[in-house]
Amino acid sequence: MTNMLILLRHGQSEWNEKNLFTGWVDVRLTERGRSEAARAGALLAESGVLPDVLHTSVLSRAIQTAHLALDSADRLWIPVRRSWRLNERHYGALQGLDKAETLQQYGEAQFMEWRRSFDTPPPALDDASEWSQAADPRYAGIDGERPRTECLKDVVERLVPYWEQEILPDLTGGSTVLVTAHGNSLRALVKHLEGISDADIAGLNIPTGMPLVYEVDDRGTPSGPGRYLDPEAAAAGAAAVAAQGR
């Protein structure tokens, strides 16, 4: 049996607009982000890919995106699961920094190593920083696992168990699953789904607000690469993400 999986990065956030490293900082959508999310839902409705269950991160921008998309698709009523395991990569001490200034200060090689290498995390964020989540009640139950920085490898390691234990059973149970998450948590999931190498994943950028659809078999293997419902807009959006900081 084939099962439908939809991956959706949140719409433009306030810090995407300001060009700041965000990670686990809980910023909201901009007006443009809200319309991207609503359009994503309209695309789902037009294509007849209607979610039966939603999995989101615990960050507001992904939750807002899901709500707006499901509203346009008239599916606000579906069951919802939320997990920190779908959160954006924790960007460590880069959280709150301007991407262009960081590029200028540290140079292209270091900037890209932090943004796109598979296994080099940025320096850890101090718990006393204003951008730390140390006192955030939503992470109270995961203290041993709450990161202070993460590379993409760390994200794969915390996300794949959630994929296997929580998302896959919904899919194989016959539900069309919508996952609303983030640029790097979705890069981690796409890497796992498509078997992309540690080196090649550096070249993959996920645009904001663009539904990416997979047909997945009962073992969780996709029938082919993901398909954007609006490929042209998705390519332009991915190019804009790749160019951030420049």
Stretch that binds ligand 3PG, among 34-42, 100-108, 156-164, 179-187 (CB under 6 A): 179-187
DSSP state of 143: G
Q: Is 12 in the site for ligand 3PG (CB under 6 A)?
A: no
Stretch that binds ligand 3PG, among 66-74, 135-143, 180-188, 193-201 (CB under 6 A): 180-188
Query: Is 184 annotated as a binding-site member?
Result: yes
What is the C-alpha to C-alpha distance for residues 191 and 168, in angstroms, rounded to an integer? 16
Sheet containing 80-82: give its strands across: 80-82, 53-56, 177-181, 3-9, 212-216, 227-228
Q: Which two tokens stand for residue 221?
A: 């293997």
- Contact at 8 Å (CB) between 200 and 1? no
When the beta carbons of 115 and 148 are compared against ligand 3PG, the nearer one is 115
What is the C-alpha to C-alpha distance for residues 71 and 134, in angstroms, rounded to an integer? 33
Annotated active-site residue 10? The verdict is yes
Q: Which two tokens stand for residue 104?
A: 């200028």
- Window 223 to 242, contacts with ligand 3PG (CB under 6 A): 241
* Smallest distance, ligand 3PG to C-beta of residue 132, A: 15
* Smallest distance, ligand 3PG to C-beta of residue 22, A: 4
Annotated active-site residue 145? The verdict is no
Which residue do the tokens 């996952």 mark? 179
Q: Is 131 in the site for ligand 3PG (CB under 6 A)?
A: no
Catalytic residue among 67, 88, 150, 182: 88
Q: Which two tokens stand for residue 193?
A: 């789904």
- Contact at 8 Å (CB) between 101 and 246? no
What is the C-alpha to C-alpha distance for residues 190 and 204, in angstroms, rounded to an integer? 9
When the beta carbons of 2 and 120 are compared against ligand 3PG, the nearer one is 120
Query: Shortest Cβ contact with ligand 3PG: which residue?
Result: 22
Annotation: binding site for substrate: 9-16, 22-23, 61, 88-91, 99, 115-116, 183-184
